[in-house]
Amino acid sequence: MTSHVAVRPARIEDAGPLAALYRDNREHLAPFEPDRDEAFFTEAGQAARLEALLAEQEQGRAYPYLIEVDGSPVGRVTVTNVARGAFRSGSLGYWVAADRTGRGVATAAVVEVLGQCFTRHGLHRLEAGTLVDNHASQAVLRRTGFTLIGRAPGYLLISGQWRDHLLFQRLADAPPDVLHPRQV
């Protein structure tokens, strides 16, 4: 049986479900994310994060999305650091719950957000970084038309260590065949 992957703009009302999702996936996400304080995993912590992102969205500087499978939240896609003018670029980040990895959910979600960013939001470029050993995320980026642009030494503080990342980019005029959402 296939499941339907949908991506929709995040709302303040998502704070409770997101907090539960983060708590349930805390161990799964820990190797890939910055250290988080306990407040991050609470509804109040997620509400504060969503409020900040939604304020940035009003200014055209961020686009937070919730990933759902068959109507249930399973992860997030967020475009941050949006720059306008001649650059028209943003940074893409995403994650899916442990029980949804390897099933095409992240790929379908990224494809949907690419379409939003390159049409509705008028961006020309998205960039994304992965830990050097995060081969699953690199596969998602390659499947969705991102190309490797280099290695960034000591790029982010992950689990108390400055870790190298591989940086990728996707341009709006890349081949359009990857911009079609799919069933998984």
- Mean pLDDT score of the chain: 92
Is 73 or 177 the better-scoring residue by pLDDT? 73
In a domain, 183, yes or no: no
> For residue 171, which amino acid is it?
L
Helices (H), the chain: 15-24, 26-29, 43-58, 105-115, 135-143
Query: What's 30's domain CATH number?
Result: 3.40.630.30
Residue 181, φ and ψ in degrees, nearest 5: -55, 155
User: Which residues form the domain of 113?
Assistant: 5-178
Higher pLDDT, 118 or 173: 118
Residue 51 pLDDT more than 50? Answer: yes
Q: Per the domain annotation, does 114 fall within a domain?
A: yes
Quote the pLDDT of residue 160.
87
- Residues 121-173: tens digit of each pLDDT: 999 999 999 999 999 999 999 999 999 999 999 999 998 899 999 999 999 98
